Amino acid sequence: MTQRERKAARPFGLARELLAWYDVHRRRLPWREAPSPYKTLVSEFMLQQTTVATVLPYFERFLCRFPTLAALARAPESAVLAAWSGLGYYTRARNLHRAAIVSLRDHDGDLPHEESALRRLPGVGPYTAAAIAAIAFDEHAFAVDGNSARVIARIAAIRNDIRSPAVRQRIKTRGEVEVPTARAGDFMQAVMELGALVCTPKNPSCTQCPIRPSCGAYRAGLTASIPRVAPKPARRVVHVACVALQDPATSKPRFAVVRRDDNELLGGTWSLPEAVITPGQSREAIAHRAAALVGLTADKLEPIGVVRQIFTHRDVTAFVFRGNLKANRRASSNKLRWVFPDQLSQIAISSFAKKTLRLVAETPSTTHDRRTNKLRTNKQRLTPRARIVDSTTAPRST
């Protein structure tokens, strides 16, 4: 934003009241205690599309495992992904790791301070660069996320769709005008905190808002309709067959897991072999195909249940099968491992994969009925787990 643009946008003068409110009402969060640029970096990556409540235990475990930027940069990617397991959006973990490596290599082991330089780090977009510049280094920057966009849209009574790039730039321009000379980082956090605690998407607590006199939406009675958000496109519905193949050569149950490609959903994590089911295809046939794709052949497969997961852009239903590996086809590769249940914590496993593996572990095996020549399944055991829903989509800092 140029000096001329700042002068053209008349400030509302939010900083004084908002900072006074923030000093009293801010939440005690681990990245705010003994703050450091590294803590800010990790928290901002974790908080992308993920709630504060979800992030809290992961953040503390991650900092224990990788206490410094240098420790993170020197760690193998597999260890970083394992520490991230269950948090979702695994591209974030890989990019965070790469950003640490670049910082160690190109910036003498420190994060760059300027918003423009931060943008050049892997995985750092406009929001993250502005947030780190402001919060970690008190740079004059304004980060536009769901919370800050909502606050500014209501203050300025912006009635356009806040997902529009032009409107987001307008919000950023308005926000930058409000950033004070001192405590730029606290101001940025105060705006996001207000959006998380008071200026909420529905039923905002306007009577508790310290900047209510400046709010154009409040004065016009439009807080329920501002901000305007265009509907998201419907999620793509995907059905897959997963196969849990047990190694009959071991006395304890040991299953095959495969590493997902980096460029696919949940890339870099380990899961049961799976393949997409298209209309008209047999689920069991696709389960056999999922095994064959990684060089494995199964004996008879039994269906044991269904797991459903809601991702940002996909609604995935997995039909889970179980069977024994044929003894003469035990394959191995750098993308396939045989793991015992107590080894799962040592590799990167998504919440989705954990659910399928839990279903396998907790569902009794079927027995063969000689009279009917069919498999008999304990259906009562399967019913409670027929649909397991977990949405990993959420706004930042709520």
Q: Is the dihedral of CA 72, 77, 83, 89 positive or negative?
A: positive
For 14-59, give the DSSP string.
-HHHHHHHHHHH----TTTSS--HHHHHHHHHHTTTS-HHHHHHHH
- What φ, ψ does residue 85 adopt, rounded to 5°? -50, 130
- How far is it, in rounded angstroms, from Cα 97 to Cα 90? 11
5, 17, 44, 114: which is the annotated catalytic residue?
A: 44
Active site includes 44? yes
- How far is it, in rounded angstroms, from Cα 309 to Cα 351? 9
- How far is it, in rounded angstroms, from Cα 160 to Cα 144? 15
Strands of the chain, DSSP E: 236-246, 255-259, 270-271, 274-276, 302-310, 314-324, 336-339, 367-369, 374-376
Collapsing DSSP states into helix, strand and coil, what is residue 336?
strand
Q: Which residues are catalytic?
A: 44
